[in-house]
Structure 1
Amino acid sequence: MADDAQGATTPVLPPERRTAGQEHVPGNVLVSIGALLLGMLLAALDQTIVSTALPTIVSDLGGLEHLSWVVTAYMLAATAATPLWGKLGDQYGRKRLFQAAIVIFLIGSALCGLAQNMPELIGFRALQGLGGGGLMVLSMAIVGDLVPPRDRGRYQGLFGAVFGATSVLGPLLGGLFTEHLSWRWVFYINLPVGAVALVVIATVLRLPPKRTRHVIDYLGTFLIASVATCLVLVASLGGTTWDWGSPQIIGLAVLGAVLTVVFVMVERRAAEPVLPLKLFRIRTFTLSAVISFIVGFAMFGAMTFLPTFLQVVHGISPTMSGVHMLPMVIGLLLASTASGQIVSRTGRWKVFPIAGTGVTALGLLLLAHLDEHSSTTEMSGFFFVFGLGLGLVMQVLVLIVQNAVGYEDLGVATSGATFFRSIGASFGVAVFGSVFSNRLADQLTDAFRGVRLPSGVSADSLAADPRGIQSLPSSLRPDVLHAYASAITDVFLYAAPVAVVGFVLAWFLREDRLRASVTTPDVTETLASNPVERTSYDEVCRALSVLGSREGRREIYRTITERAGYDLRPATSWLLLRIKRYGSVEPAVLAERGPVPLTVIIEAARQVEERHLATRAGLDLSLTPQGEEVAERLSRAREDSLAQLLGDWWGPDRPTDLVQLVKELNGELCGSEREQPYDGGPAQRFA
């Protein structure tokens, strides 16, 4: 028998059967979803499109030692702003906040394109990141306002697809714009796309006037952003701009420590803390947070400096450097998808963080062996291994955190895991940048010792602008290219022990039994460089919507029939729930519009009539009083099966929003995803 999960269209409910939230859905939901996807596209693209343009940006604006901050400024701002955007959207309305996020992002993009020096670009990237954080959070939250719980998994899957696409397209587009237009178009391209999204959102999007009051933890948000900034400044400026023992670096380190203590004190008293400290009493969460930090450290550090290696050392064009990065992205996506699916099917997950951190460490060691003579095949293979390691661990870290916490902390624990990866990414890019700058200065000084250089050329000038390599005599170029290659690959060598620490910590994770309601996370939670804030309700809704559609096979109708205590055919139970939902149905039209063959429906119709569960009025079947009772018990059995998936969250003190979600999903899942409901009228035909 065909099942509920085979359908791909969203049912359009008759007015009398819509929930309050659905009454406000605009006539063309897809247009609104499309505008949200454009907003998400902007934020996702700016995480990856800049990497292949960085060498050219540095050559144009100077300041190679500040290269990492072009990436770090965006990540830090987006990460710090994420919890604020989510709660402000709840409190003041998401549409208005989403429009504000687009405007801030577009202003930041325009200013980035106009930047005349590195400090300006870094400041404007931070402004862009503030808007980008809002685009990420609010676009996902608005989907929950637009579509019913059963369909959210499918629509949120579209956002995951956008992330997957931008991971591949970002480096390619960055290279194309840089090579054929200007690096400034990496930012200017956001303006027309954002303008379209802004117009569509303003004219089409209609959201229910739903508000949630929050006690927003402004001080906690400010403090955790300040602590992260101090750490990143110490990592990026220590040993380059200032000596490690200088008053500035010591002062930043002391300030970071003091702010950390203040943050802990504030969070203990906060009504709605940005990061509840009680989560750190859960060993699995704490270990996962540290491993997430390490994964972010390795992933974004490598993604920032590999294009520089390809373009400067191997002379590859910006566009082709994006192509050369594809094996890493493909390895990441393949391993991430496969590991998530395997864990969801088997319930066993511990092998993946162990294998993932181990393969990531191996990948970093392989990258450390690259030099100016490495072949394309060798580089592609090493990139693929590195991406494979990251992919094996990234999906699973979010999943095991969700499995370790109670319902009330599910949302904040999910965003907390990705928050630590974001901080790790910012820290990693800064540390990689500092190591690279120091090693490059030393390598160039050694290369030019005792060598007479052309006028205007020095180790400092070549470190600031790699284009100067082209003006060197052919006899000097190999040494300079080797200096660049060694400086970049040393970065990977120093990062490998950090990945090994993650590998060791992964062995201490305790493999608790996987909850039935914990499913593979969205790609947005896996690939996003900043956390996507969602509530506990949102997370359970996503999980149950996926399970609800996945379980809609013949077996579920056999199961709920047995649970209800009847000996009906599974198809008969399916038919009774359809009649209950629509009042009356015509079997031939059910077969025409739905996924179940006519012969199966006819057998089911014969049984409901033989058992006096339904009567005919012309061609239509309607429930008898006995049939109403049977259908009601079947519906309750379906509700019980959904509740059972929640496991220990469905305890005596279960929250009311969880109860309401199960009832709402049960009502929706009693109909087929493929069939379209009746629109009324004498013949009760399908709309």
Structure 2
Amino acid sequence: MSDGNGAGTTRPAAIEIPDEGLHGRALTTVFVALMLGMFLAALDQTIVSTALPTIVGELGGLDHLSWVVTAYLLASTVSTPLYGKLGDMLGRKPVFVAAIVIFLVGSMLSGLSQTMLQLILFRALQGLGAGGLIVGAQAILADIIPPRRRGRYMGLMGAVFAVSSVAGPLLGGFLVDNLSWRWVFYVNMPIGALALVIVVTRLHLHVPHTRHRVDYLGAGLLAGGVAALILVTTWGGNQYDWGSPEIVGLGIAGVAMLVAFVWQESRAPEPIIPLSLFRSGTFRLASGMGFMIGMAMFGAIIYLPLFLQLVYGASPTSSGLRMIPLMGGLLVAAIASGRAITRFGRYKVYPVVGTVVLVLGMYLLSRLTVESDAWVASVYMAIVGIGLGLVMQVLVLIVQNDARPQDMGVVTSTATFFRSVGGSFGVALFGAIFASRLANELTRLPADVVARLGDVGAIDPARAKELPPEVRADFLRVFANALHGVFLWGMAIAIVPAVLAWFLKEVPLRTTLGRGAPPVEESLPEVPVETEVRAAAR
């Protein structure tokens, strides 16, 4: 890492990146490290799912099982704005390195856990690191590649996110079956260590040396307010009644802290999320779209593996394999749209088309029945994946192109934050919708069938297979009907960003990093771009 003496350093070329960005081998090496960081953060959102039954068998604590996942997601979500601001203030590299170290420490301690409480706490620590990995990777990319050339790299990052999210359950199942559930966490160590070495030795970014005042009060209010509201949607109707003192108290506390956060940001010298960002119509539209897409994506798609396991009798590993069409659709669409944006310099068409395709895909998923062929479900999932691939990473590129260079980190983190919060609320919302519809569907069955089903909420794929044939047929029918409501609500929510996308302005993408606020150029030299992209694709 460089020293802090500015122009008098012995390695000025390593510290200052040209305004046209990195090229060639230097870019490829750093980009690989960024993708490894993104891969780890996305992988650990899902890799633990297939290991949970084994973990409970060894550590106990079945009633706290969901917190192994919730603690990670909650910590990664609430930490993203702070990472973005710290990156702008202290320099992107030291903050990203810190995030990798925190993530690896959390991974090691999670693997060494001896009780369920320890595992939950260490998963939260791991999540704190993951928030910095996701934001840092995208913000560093914005520091080294101008928007005009950034499209296909953002597409590759989106593809990595898709692959790791879907591959998580597969890898988790393999590690549990062949090694131990602890290797679900240990597997992060060599990958993270490689990313750390590359970032430390090969990434040389300018480090600001101006004194800053971190708005810790604002960060605490935002984290507390969002966490409280997420807990309201997570616990409401499950652990506690919606009108219980616990839920009402959390709701009031969450709203109060968010109101206090807005007041604090209006007076803080260096706010975590500058309210001035919302003066931009582009930022408001993209953030709103990201929030709603997060709801539709995380909220509805989380039920697909359950559908595959119950209706088609697929094993956890097999259900992960059956999600490959979704991953493939997202992969192809993200890479293709990224390459097209880099080549033609236009981006608005992709969120417009992507959101419409997502609406169509959600509607088609709502038409799946017990009698639907497996290939039909695969086609519908591929359509959803294509819709997501066309829009997800493009939204980040749009807000980055709209932002000042000194706000790049906070803009990137805020866009990611809104999508993550939308996903958290979506999971809770669709869970409530599914439970309500399932209870309503059960009232249509004969009383003796309902009695034989017992506690429907406790039915897992293994128990469903043990039900008598006639009872199992009735259960699968009501289950599929209840799930239709989840996907229909996902479709309805996806309509909102489909409408908002039409109001996005097509702003020419900058061909430089914008440090000197140069005028926007209309064309891009073809040879350097093609050369470096081929290198990155390899």
Shared topology, TM-score over 0.5?
Answer: yes
Q: Closer, same or farther in 2 for the Cα pair 1:448/1:104, shift >3 Å? A: farther
1:327-342 matches, within 5 Å, as: 327-342=325-340
Report the Cα offset of residue 186 of structure 1. 2.7
Residue equivalent to 1:433: 431
Q: Is the 8 A contact 1:37 1:159 kept in 2?
A: yes
Whether 1:221 and 2:197 are equivalent positions in the alignment is: no
1:508-519 matches, within 5 Å, as: 509-511=503-505, 513-517=506-510
TM (norm. structure 2) is: 0.78
The match for 1:500 among 495, 498, 502 is 495
| Amino acid across the alignment from 1:431 | L
Q: Unpaired runs of 5+ in structure 2?
A: 1-8, 18-24
Q: More deviation in 104-113 or 294-303?
A: 104-113
1:305-316 matches, within 5 Å, as: 305-316=303-314
Q: More deviation in 153-162 or 284-293?
A: 153-162
Q: Closer, same or farther in 2 for the Cα pair 1:176/1:281, shift >3 Å? A: same
CA distance in 1, matches of 2:396, 2:140: 22
Whether 1:109 and 2:107 are equivalent positions in the alignment is: yes
1:291-440 matches, within 5 Å, as: 291-346=289-344, 349-405=347-403, 409=407, 411-440=409-438
1:42-441 matches, within 5 Å, as: 42-50=40-48, 70-88=68-86, 98=96, 100-113=98-111, 122-138=120-136, 162-163=160-161, 165-167=163-165, 169-181=167-179, 183-194=181-192, 210-212=207-209, 213-346=211-344, 349-405=347-403, 409=407, 411-440=409-438
CA distance in 1, matches of 2:355, 2:120: 31
Q: Deviations over 1:459-515 (max 9, x none)?
A: 16734x5433344333322233334434444322222221122223334x153x422
Q: Is the 8 A contact 1:353 1:506 kept in 2?
A: yes
| Amino acid across the alignment from 2:371 | H
Q: More deviation in 378-387 or 414-423?
A: 414-423
Q: Is the 8 A contact 1:43 1:135 kept in 2?
A: yes
Q: Deviations over 1:361-400 (max 9, x none)?
A: 2211211222333211110111011112222222432343
Report the Cα offset of residue 258 of structure 1. 1.5
Report the Cα offset of residue 246 of structure 1. 2.7
CA distance in 2, matches of 1:366, 1:155: 31
| Amino acid across the alignment from 1:462 | A
CA distance in 1, matches of 2:229, 2:196: 36
Q: Is the 8 A contact 1:407 1:536 kept in 2?
A: yes
| Amino acid across the alignment from 1:436 | F
Residue equivalent to 1:472: 467
Q: Is the 8 A contact 2:363 2:491 kept in 1?
A: yes
CA distance in 2, matches of 1:460, 1:46: 29
CA distance in 2, matches of 1:234, 1:21: 46
Q: Closer, same or farther in 2 for the Cα pair 1:148/1:292, shift >3 Å? A: closer
Residue equivalent to 2:455: 459
Percent identity reads: 50
Instruction: Give the secondary-structure state (helix, strand or coil) at the position aligned to 1:425.
Output: helix
CA distance in 1, matches of 2:297, 2:61: 23
Q: Is the 8 A contact 2:170 2:321 kept in 1?
A: yes
Q: Closer, same or farther in 2 for the Cα pair 1:43/1:460, shift >3 Å? A: same
CA distance in 2, matches of 1:496, 1:351: 20
| Amino acid across the alignment from 1:514 | V
Instruction: Give the secondary-structure state (helix, strand or coil) at the position aligned to 1:390.
Output: helix
Instruction: Give the secondary-structure state (helix, strand or coil) at the position aligned to 1:498.
Output: helix
The match for 1:550 among 520, 526, 529 is 526
Q: Deviations over 1:543-577 (max 9, x none)?
A: 99x97653659xxxxxxxxxxxxxxxxxxxxxxxx
Instruction: Give the secondary-structure state (helix, strand or coil) at the position aligned to 2:476.
Output: helix
Q: Is the 8 A contact 2:326 2:382 kept in 1?
A: yes
1:637-648 matches, within 5 Å, as: none
Q: Closer, same or farther in 2 for the Cα pair 1:536/1:239, shift >3 Å? A: farther
Whether 1:449 and 2:447 are equivalent positions in the alignment is: yes
Q: Number of residues paired by the alignment?
A: 515
CA distance in 2, matches of 1:500, 1:297: 12
Q: Unpaired runs of 5+ in structure 1?
A: 1-14, 520-534, 554-594, 596-668, 675-687
Report the Cα offset of residue 428 of structure 1. 1.3
CA distance in 1, matches of 2:420, 2:124: 14
| Amino acid across the alignment from 1:501 | V
Residue equivalent to 1:584: none
Q: Closer, same or farther in 2 for the Cα pair 1:405/1:549, shift >3 Å? A: same
CA distance in 2, matches of 1:68, 1:440: 21
Instruction: Give the secondary-structure state (helix, strand or coil) at the position aligned to 1:450.
Output: helix
CA distance in 2, matches of 1:398, 1:137: 10
CA radius of gyration, larger in: 1
Q: Is the 8 A contact 1:102 1:198 kept in 2?
A: yes
TM (norm. structure 1) is: 0.62
Q: Is the 8 A contact 1:402 1:410 kept in 2?
A: yes
Q: Which has the higher contact order (CA 8 A, sep 6+)?
A: 2
Q: Is the 8 A contact 1:441 1:459 kept in 2?
A: no
Q: Is the 8 A contact 1:357 1:502 kept in 2?
A: yes
Q: Closer, same or farther in 2 for the Cα pair 1:89/1:268, shift >3 Å? A: closer
